[in-house]
Amino acid sequence: MEIVIKGPGEAVICFIDSKGRTLMQERLRCAGSATVGARRPVSLVGQTRSGRIKLAPVLVASGEKQEVTFDGEAPSSFTKRRCRKIGCPDSIVEEAARGRAKLLRDDPAHLPGRTVSRP
């Protein structure tokens, strides 16, 4: 799948499994003029200790003036179809299509304003 972002700002995408658990999260940032854009290819299959697992992307936040697409379509439509394909229950399908997924805890080493000391 390809995520395309047009316009400056930050987009937050969670990748959920068929039970609605967020297994991965990405923050994609673009800076510059209103015409700036970025493309990010991503796999919708993750690897866990238990094996490979199918994922669905959920756009939980984006910049006020950003346009985000998943494989050329609106994130809510893509997410809804993908959730159904991987076997999510209807309640999770609807929540994900609305952009609701649990965010992962931030890594303290990567918090804004924090400097990581080097050995």
**Which residues partner with 61 through β-bridges?**
12
Instruction: Please check the confidence at residue 32 and state whether its pLDDT lies above 90.
Output: no
State how far the Cα of 61 lies from the Cα of 43, in Å rounded to an integer: 20
What pTM was computed for the model? 0.85
Q: In the structure, what pLDDT confidence band is assigned to residue 115 with cuts at 50, 70 and 90?
A: very low
Q: Which residue has the tokens 């297994």?
A: 23
**Mean pLDDT to the nearest integer, 40-57:** 95
Q: pLDDT, tens digit, for every residue of 6-24?
A: 999 999 999 999 999 999 9
User: How far is CA 77 from each of CA 43, 116, 118, rounded to the nearest angstrom?
Assistant: 18, 39, 44
